[in-house]
Amino acid sequence: MKNDFVIHTLENGLRVVIEVMPGVRSAACGFLARTGSRDEDPQMAGVSHFLEHMCFKGTHHRTCEQINIAFDEMGSLYNAFTSKERTFYYGWVRDADLERQTELLADMMRSALPQPEFDVEKKVILEEIAMSNDQISHLAYDFLHENVFAGHPAAWPVLGFADTIEKLTRDQMDAYLAERYAPDNLVLVVAGRVRPEQVIRLASRLTADWLPAGRSRSRIPPVLNAGQAVKKVERFHQQEIALVFAAPGAGHPMDETAEATASILGGGNSRIFWNIVQAGLSPRAGAWRVAYEDCGLTILSGLCDPANCEKLAEALRKEARELIAQGPEPHEVQRVKNKRRTSLAVEAEAPYYRLVQIMDDVDTYGQPRSVEQRLAEVDAVTGQSVVDYLEAFPITDPGFLVSVGPREWPAS
């Protein structure tokens, strides 16, 4: 089953990336805005995410209600999400509704930011921050970034802070929108049962009056701090512990090996699962890699009874030491590769899954990768490449230790 890509850049700088997927009945489309919380000024922390909400709140052609009704009339599976580096708006529909879906999303990229909706939505964002603060995993993840990247825009949470959200004005957001949602900083991604020439014609028509900003995105690579940070929160019952190490950024030649290494160490049926979770030390523990444009993190983390913090931290370090000392077993590498093959087959079935992957590829590599190409990259992972990777990005130095929960551990 061969998939085809069509990549086209419009005169205004908007890139259009299309994958034709034979054999499916549906189509998905989305606008990637290449901006996120690390692109914000500190006093506007949270504006990217707040803007994502506001793009549903009214344009120069539609009210908020009309936008919502249009999505639901199509029975679209739609949403948007914001990260530190990206904002993505998408809809997945029956193929006959693709044009209408694309038109709606394009209109939303030119939000009118109506003041009354801005004022109401500010309350919703503050509720979202409160909700996040009540969940130990969210709080720990944000606290980790605040400390590991302290002093850098990658440090603050995607949601921003209550005080920056409260102070944010509609005009500040409007300026941010004008600069970051220019067509040369956007990508339209489409996947599924589509006709590329129709999509390109449609995109040209919809964005005919969009003006490029003519500026490229400039980001300063963050420096990973060493040390430790503890947040004592008495209302929690369990403690979240994380060890953080430097990892390669997105698009690194060792990408697949980095993912395989994290999986061998801390995915399902991994060393951490059998030696830490199945030893009864933690109900949830694992390892994963977070990849940003210019840096990455390997995080070894787990949840435990507050009395067991020392044991859990030491157990995580022991697994890291042993993987480096012994290298992976051949069957560990093979099982990770086998599961990845199944994942890729699942991904290849559904336009929405492909849409998100293409978006990620385009932002990371500048172009999409086919499932076949990614299979080849998976096949290239070997035991030796895992050993080489761990030598280049060791996980046995002290790293950065983060601890959140009712116990003040380790003591300062």
Partner 1 sequence: MEFAAEVLPDRRTVALELRVLSGLADEPPHQLGLAHLVEETIDKGTQRRDGRALSDAFDALGAQRASWTGRECIGFTCVCLPPQLQPVLELFAEMLRTPTFPDEACRVAVELAAQDLKSLEDDPQELADKLLTRQAYGPWLGRHALGEASTLANIGAADIRKHWSTYFEAGRMQVAMAGPVDAERVMDSLERLFEGFGGSSPAGRALYPVEFNPVHTHQHKELEQEQIGFCFPGVARTDPQFPVQQVLLAILSDGMSSRLFTEVREKLGLAYSVSAWHENPRGAGMIHLHASTTPERCDRTYATLLREVDRLGEDVTEAERLRAVNAIVARTETRGDITRAHGAELANDLFHFGRPVPLEEKLEAVRRVTIADLKRYLAEHPRDRLCVVTLGPKQLDPAGRQ
Residues 219-248 that bind partner 1 (CB under 8 A): 234-238
Q: How far is the CB of 323 from partner 1 (least distance, A)?
A: 16
**Chain centre to alpha carbon of residue 359:** 11
User: CA–CA separation, 125 vs 118, rounded Å?
Assistant: 10
Q: Scanning residues 181 to 200, which ones bind partner 1 (CB under 8 A)?
A: none
Q: How many residues bind partner 1 (CB under 8 A)?
A: 71
- Please select the residue that binds partner 1; options are 223, 345, 376, 380, rule is CB under 8 A: 345
Backbone angles phi, psi at 111, to 5 degrees: -60, 145
User: CA–CA separation, 305 vs 310, rounded Å?
Assistant: 10
Q: Which two tokens stand for residue 127?
A: 């509720």
Beta carbon nearer to partner 1, 160 or 183: 160
Q: Which two tokens stand for residue 142?
A: 């944000």
Q: How far is the CB of 279 from partner 1 (least distance, A)?
A: 7
- Please select the residue that binds partner 1; options are 200, 226, 339, 396, rule is CB under 8 A: 339
Q: How far is the CB of 2 from partner 1 (least distance, A)?
A: 13
Rule CB under 8 A: is residue 386 a binding residue for partner 1?
no
Q: How far is the CB of 138 from partner 1 (least distance, A)?
A: 10
- Please select the residue that binds partner 1; options are 130, 178, 208, 223, rule is CB under 8 A: 130
Q: In whole angstroms, how far apart are CA 46 and each of 37, 74, 131, 216, 288? A: 6, 31, 15, 21, 25
Backbone angles phi, psi at 149, to 5 degrees: -110, 25
Beta carbon nearer to partner 1, 205 or 237: 237
- Which three-class secondary structure state does DSSP give residue 41? coil
Q: Scanning residues 86 to 105, which ones bind partner 1 (CB under 8 A)?
A: 92-94, 97
Q: How far is the CB of 157 from partner 1 (least distance, A)?
A: 15
Rule CB under 8 A: is residue 120 a binding residue for partner 1?
yes
Cβ pair 260, 333 in contact under 8 A: yes
Q: Scanning residues 29 to 68, which ones bind partner 1 (CB under 8 A)?
A: 56, 64-65, 67-68
Token look-up 């059998």 returns: 274
Rule CB under 8 A: is residue 342 a binding residue for partner 1?
yes
Rule CB under 8 A: is residue 134 a binding residue for partner 1?
yes
Q: Count, in order, helices (H) and strands (E) of the chain.
A: 15, 11
Backbone angles phi, psi at 29, to 5 degrees: -140, 155
Q: Scanning residues 347 to 366, which ones bind partner 1 (CB under 8 A)?
A: 348-351
- Please select the residue that binds partner 1; options are 98, 168, 300, 303, rule is CB under 8 A: 303
Rule CB under 8 A: is residue 25 a binding residue for partner 1?
yes
Beta bridge partners of 354: none
Cβ pair 257, 389 in contact under 8 A: yes
Site string for partner 1, 256-285 (x = CB under 8 A): ------------xx----x--xxxx-xxx-
User: CA–CA separation, 48 vs 58, rounded Å?
Assistant: 17
